[in-house]
Amino acid sequence: MAHRIAFLGFVALAVCASLSLAADPANLQDFCVADASGNTRMNGMACKNPAMVQASDFAFSGLHIPGNTSNAVGSRVTPVAVTQIPGLNTLGISMVRIDYAPWGINSLHTHPRATEILTVIEGSLEVGFVTSNPENRHITKIIKKGDVFVFPVGLIHYQRNIGYGNAVAIAALSSQNPGVITIANTIFGSKPDINTDLLAKAFQVDKSVVWQLQTKF
């Protein structure tokens, strides 16, 4: 019986440990303002001396300014993460503003380290994500001003402005550094290129199609 209790205790400890490792590191002090000049390499960023911390380390200005959407996809993401606010270091949260031209898209992408919760400030968006193999379910919805939608961590997702005017959204992410992997850019714009034979077989297309796509990215 004692062995069984000890085993269950070990399992519970292992589960708790795995959950604690599944998110950004927790703070062991009030804050850990990122020290961009630090030479220490670690999972996250080194802490600035608390005596040197200023209010500006916790502030950002400019989220009211529309992003320039004059690009191929018709959208612009303005990030507010640890790079913009050093005080976010170890706090496990960040945000973005997304501007969309008429019919602009925030192309298929994933955030490897964060769940995203998005709300529409202006306009209407088609949003969606695709579940993992083998189902690959496409879960999609039209959302309007004031609506909220969640994109689970790691899943491929997108937004598309379905109106004739500009659209704006604000999103929060559950990491100080959520990361972004844009699917088309990653596959067809890698440096060096992924082998064209491999991509042709993966997408079941002729190699000439792969070459054409690679020239675009």
Share of the chain above pLDDT 70, in %: 85
Alpha-carbon gap, residue 129 to 135, rounded angstroms: 12
Which of these, 16, 170, 159, lies nearest to 78 by C-alpha position? 170
Q: Terminal CA-to-CA distance of the chain, rounded, Å?
A: 62
Alpha-carbon gap, residue 205 to 60, rounded angstroms: 46
Residue 3 marked as a ligand binder: no
Q: What is the CA radius of gyration of the chain?
A: 21
Choice among 14-23, 79-88, 104-113, 160-169 with the minimum mean pLDDT: 14-23
What pTM was computed for the model? Answer: 0.84
The dihedral through the CA atoms of 167, 172, 177, 183 has a sign that is negative
Does pLDDT of 10 surpass 60? no
Does pLDDT of 5 surpass 60? no
pLDDT, one tens digit per residue, over 169-189 is 999 999 999 999 999 999 999
Which residues, including other chains, have CB under 8 Å from residue 181's CB and lie 6 or more apart?
A: 109, 110, 111, 112
Residue 64 marked as a ligand binder: no
pLDDT, one tens digit per residue, over 58-112 is 999 999 999 999 999 999 999 999 999 999 999 999 999 999 999 999 999 999 9
**β-bridge pairing 124-130 and 156-161:** antiparallel
